Structure 1
Amino acid sequence: MAPKPKELFAELTHRGPHRVLRGDLALIGLPGLVFTPRSGSGLPAIAFGHGWLQPADRYLGLFRHLASWGLVVAAPGTQRGPLASSRLFAADLRTTLDVCAGVRLGDGDITVDAGRLGLAGHSTGGGAAVLAAAEDERVRAVVTLAASQTKPFATDAASRCSMPALHMAGADDVVAPAVGHSRLIAANWAGPVQFRMLPKVDHMGFAEGRHWSGLLIPGSPSHGALRITRALLTAFFLVHLAGQDRYRPLLEADVKGAPIEDTSELVA
């Protein structure tokens, strides 16, 4: 009997079977972090874009979780200033994918399959991930968390993205309200797309810990949002990058605290 979505969700909230290694992208020419399973060849890889003013350290739990399930996760630490360029950050995300696909990681025994690349990001990093996906035909899957509008517009870039995507947002986000940002990106998406709204979650509900930017950006981490994010991102990338259809029922079901919403009425 196939596992039920609730069972799959419970499974994916726990760490996976792989031991995790942490590395520094600066050693191979780009500032940032990389997390990998302890070993493996032909692995899927994800480049993750941080939120406005945020260090990659605010997503460490997510990175470790994904790596424990057999995914390489790399997060460039560029464009962290108040006037950061979304266009340049998108280019950095694409360069990060180049690094993952072209360099042996760990002790040289970890390799990435260039045909199994994905993008993800939070806030402006989510918008930059959309910009990067629109310009990179290698990208097979995209996830955004409380994505913010960018310049160039992520909402326009979404219309050039044909790969599967999952967009998640907080209903209490006053920084990048979903209707004008992530929900509109989802509505304009050219490929298979899903949008989930998390009630009682704000813009920073998807980040971890504390940071001085909390003086400027309203919101705080949400334990529930982090738990849901880890499970759904793991399922999404395992299905679309690793080909593990066992987890597809979870992606097709409403999850408590993250129901699937219709965005078709926003399309002109």
Structure 2
Amino acid sequence: MASKPKQLLEELSHPGPHEVLRGDLALVGLPGVVFTPRAGLNLPAIAFGHGWLQPPGRYRELLRHLASWGIVAAAPATQRGPLPSHRLFAADLRSTLDVVTGVRLGPDGISVDPAKLGLAGHSVGGGAAVLAAAGSGEPEVKAVATIAAAQTIPSATAAAQTIQMPGLHLVPDNDLVAPAAGNAEAIARAWAGPVQLRTIPKSSHLGVTEGMHWSQLLLHGKPHRATQRVVRALFTAFFLTHLTGTSSYRSLLEADLKAAHLDAKLMPA
């Protein structure tokens, strides 16, 4: 019998069955980090874009969590200045997917299936993920998930109009940095493919981040354990569903959750 959404949310908010390894993308020419299961061939993978001024280390447990569920998760440490190039950041996300599919990872030769690739990001990293998804050519991306996505130059909303793959956009309800109406909500409503927009209650722009960082002096919000928990669970369910083809977690993605309210006006992904 299929598990209920609440049970799945609880299950996927905890680490998965895989032991996790951490690696340095700089060893293959791109600054950043990569987390992988200890073993596995033809694994799914995602590239994750950090938020404005944020180091990838502020998402360490999110990336580790995805890897514990069998998803290779890599985050480039580029475009971290106050005036990042969103276009170049999007290119770096695509390059990150090229890297993880082009080399064997880990001591036992972990490999990534180029047909199982996704993009994710927070804040401007979310907007850059949308730009990267709209890019043509290889690698081909199958799913995109964002949290507190911010607009970019060129426009992430305009880019969303060309994206046919499933999208998941999570919105903190108290985001004073990238308010939903002009950012994640606008991106989701422009999305050409199946899409979800969900609101996380009692959450701020920095809710998904981990630990302390000097940028909290400039940006509203702080790390929020409940936000981190629901983002980990929903990202895991979303990418396992759309990158591996499993139906085990679809009921969670289809449910209107107290921890992440589903906008009923948008088509479920």
TM-score, normalised to structure 1, is 0.97
Aligned to 1:180: 182
Give CA deviations for 1:5-27 in whole Å, capped at 9, x if unaligned: 11111111111000000000000
CA RMSD of aligned residues (A): 0.9
Structure 2 residue aligned with 1:231: 233
Q: Distance in 1 between matches of 2:162 and 2:123?
A: 20
Kindly report which structure 2 residues correspond to 1:69-84, keeping only aligned pairs within 5 A, or say none. 69-84=69-84
User: Which residue pairs with 1:159 in the alignment?
Assistant: 161
Mapping for residues 175-254 of structure 1, pairs under 5 Å: 175-254=177-256
Unaligned runs of 5+ in 2: none
Corresponding residue for 1:135? 135
Tell me, yes or no, if structure 1 residue 25 matches structure 2 residue 20: no
Question: Which whole-Å CA distance do the structure 2 matches of 1:257 and 1:10 have between them?
Answer: 11
Structure 2 SS opposite 1:174? coil
> 1:30 is aligned with what amino acid?
L
CA distance in 2, matches of 1:175, 1:263: 24
Q: Which residue in the other structure is 1:169 paired with?
A: 171
Q: Distance in 1 between matches of 2:30 and 2:3?
A: 41
- Quote the Cα distance in structure 2 between the aligned partners of 1:263 and 1:224: 25
- CA offsets, 1:53-73, max 9 Å, x none? 000000011011100000000
Contact 1:147 1:176 in 2 (8 A): yes
Asked if residue 92 in structure 1 is aligned to residue 92 in structure 2, the reply is: yes
- Runs of 4+ off more than 4 Å: none
Q: Any conservation in 2 of the 1:186–1:263 contact (CA below 8 Å)?
A: no
Contact 2:39 2:108 (C-alpha < 8 Å) held by counterparts: no
Alpha-carbon deviation of 1:263? 4.9
Contact kept in structure 2, 1:36 and 1:70, CA below 8 Å: yes
Q: CA deviation at 1:136?
A: 4.1
In structure 2, C-alpha distance between the alignment counterparts of 1:106 and 1:61, rounded to whole Å: 19
**Is 2:67 the counterpart of 1:67?**
yes
Aligned to 1:54: 54
Give the secondary-structure state (helix, strand or coil) at the position aligned to 2:142.
strand
Report the equivalent of 1:145.
147
CA offset digits 1:168-216 (Å, max 9, x no partner): 0111101100011001100000000000011221111111111001111
C-alpha contact (below 8 Å) 1:59/1:208 kept by paired residues: yes
SS at match of 2:45: strand
Q: Which residue of 1 aligns with 2:14?
A: 14
How far off is 1:262 after superposition?
3.8
Give the secondary structure class of the aligned counterpart of 2:36. strand
The answer to whether the 8 A contact 2:168-2:196 is kept is yes
1:82 alignment partner AA: P
**% of aligned pairs identical?**
63
SS at match of 1:110: coil
Matched, 1:37 2:56: no
Equivalents in 2 of 1:99, 1:168: separation in Å? 27
Quote the Cα distance in structure 2 between the aligned partners of 1:2 and 1:28.
42
Alpha-carbon distance between aligned partners in 1 of 2:19 and 2:229, rounded to the nearest angstrom: 20
Structure 2 CA distance for partners of 1:262 and 1:3, relative to 1, 3 Å: closer
